[in-house]
C-alpha cells in the first residue's frame, strides 16, 4: 500500500472544508433565491407576513440545508398553483378597489358646489373627471356580483375560505354591501322627510307672517283710535 503523509492528510482536510464551505454558500444562494420568489407569490396573494410564517414557514427559515431547500421548493410550487387559481379573483378585487376609490372621490367632489362655476380654473376638467368616475362607479355592482359568484365557486372547489389581507374577503365584501344599502336607505328616508317638511315650514312661515301683519294692523288701529279720543277730549 502507498503511504499517506500527515501533510497530505492535512491538505485533504483543508480541501474538504473548503468544498463544504463553498457548498453551503452555494446552497444559501439557491435557497435565498427560491425564498425570494416564494415571498413574491405570497405578496401577490395579499397574505400578511404573520400568515405567511404560519402557512409557509420555509419562507423565513435561515437553516440553509437540503431539507430546507426541499421545503422551499414544495412551498413555492404550492404558492404558484394557488396564485393561478386566485388570479382571476384578484383581478376583480383590483377592479372593485378602483371603483370604490372613484366613488369616494366623486362623493367628495360633489360636495363642493363651486365646481359648477364654469369660470373657475379647471372646472371643465373636474366635470369631465367626475363623468368618468360615474361611469366607473356604475360597474361596481356588476363587479361585486361577479366576485361573489367567483369566490363562492373557488371556496367550493378548494374547500377553504378565500382570504385576502388576512380576512375572509367574501364576508367582508357582503358586510360592506349591506352597510352601503343601509346608508342609501337612510339617506332616501331623510330626503323624503325633508321634502315633506319644507312645504309645512313654508305654510307655517306664511301663517306666522299673516299673524304678525294682523297684529301690526290691530296695533295701528288702536293707536289711531287713541289719538282721535285724545283730540276730542282736548276740544272745548
Higher per-residue confidence, 47 vs 227: 47
Q: What is the pLDDT of residue 19?
A: 77
Give the number of residues written for the chain: 236
Q: What is the pLDDT of residue 164?
A: 96
Q: Is 28 exposed, middle or buried (0-12, 13-18, 19+ CB in 10 A)?
A: middle
Q: What is the pLDDT of residue 55?
A: 92
Higher per-residue confidence, 38 vs 220: 38
Q: What per-residue string of b and e applies to 76-113 under the rule 16 or more CB within 10 Å gives b?
A: beebeebeeebeebeebbebbeebbebbeebeeeeeee
Task: Kindly report the pTM of this predicted structure.
Answer: 0.69
pLDDT tens digit string along 62-103? 988 999 999 999 999 999 999 999 999 999 999 999 999 999
For residue 14, pLDDT beyond 90: no
Instruction: With CA atoms as reference, report the closest residue to 61 among 79, 39, 83, 44.
Output: 39
Give the span between the Cα atoms of 5 and 67, in whole angstroms.
37
- Local confidence band at 9 (pLDDT 50, 70, 90 cut-offs): confident
Q: What is the pLDDT of residue 11?
A: 73
pLDDT tens digit string along 94-119? 999 999 999 999 988 888 766 666 55
Amino acid at each position: 500500500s502507498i503511504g499517506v503523509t500527515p501533510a497530505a492528510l492535512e491538505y485533504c482536510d483543508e480541501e474538504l472544508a473548503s468544498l463544504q464551505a463553498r457548498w453551503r454558500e452555494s446552497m444559501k444562494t439557491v435557497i435565498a433565491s427560491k425564498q425570494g420568489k416564494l415571498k413574491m407569490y405570497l405578496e401577490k396573494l395579499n397574505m400578511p407576513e404573520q400568515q405567511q410564517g404560519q402557512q409557509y414557514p420555509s419562507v423565513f427559515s435561515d437553516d440553509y440545508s437540503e431539507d430546507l431547500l426541499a421545503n422551499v421548493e414544495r412551498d413555492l410550487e404550492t404558492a404558484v398553483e394557488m396564485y393561478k387559481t386566485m388570479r382571476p379573483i384578484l383581478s376583480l378585487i383590483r377592479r372593485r378597489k378602483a371603483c370604490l376609490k372613484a366613488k369616494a372621490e366623486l362623493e367628495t367632489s360633489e360636495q363642493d358646489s363651486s365646481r359648477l362655476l364654469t369660470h373657475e380654473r379647471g372646472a371643465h376638467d373636474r366635470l369631465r373627471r367626475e363623468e368618468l368616475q360615474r361611469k366607473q362607479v356604475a360597474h361596481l355592482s356588476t363587479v361585486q356580483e361577479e366576485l361573489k359568484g367567483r369566490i363562492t365557486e373557488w371556496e367550493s372547489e378548494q374547500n377553504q375560505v378565500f382570504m385576502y389581507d388576512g380576512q375572509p374577503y367574501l364576508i367582508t365584501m357582503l358586510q360592506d354591501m349591506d352597510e352601503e344599502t343601509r346608508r342609501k336607505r337612510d339617506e332616501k328616508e331623510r330626503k323624503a322627510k325633508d321634502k315633506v317638511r319644507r312645504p309645512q315650514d313654508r305654510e307655517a312661515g306664511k301663517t306666522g307672517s299673516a299673524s304678525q301683519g294682523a297684529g301690526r294692523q290691530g296695533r295701528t288701529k288702536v293707536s289711531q283710535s287713541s289719538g282721535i279720543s285724545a283730540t276730542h277730549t282736548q276740544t272745548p
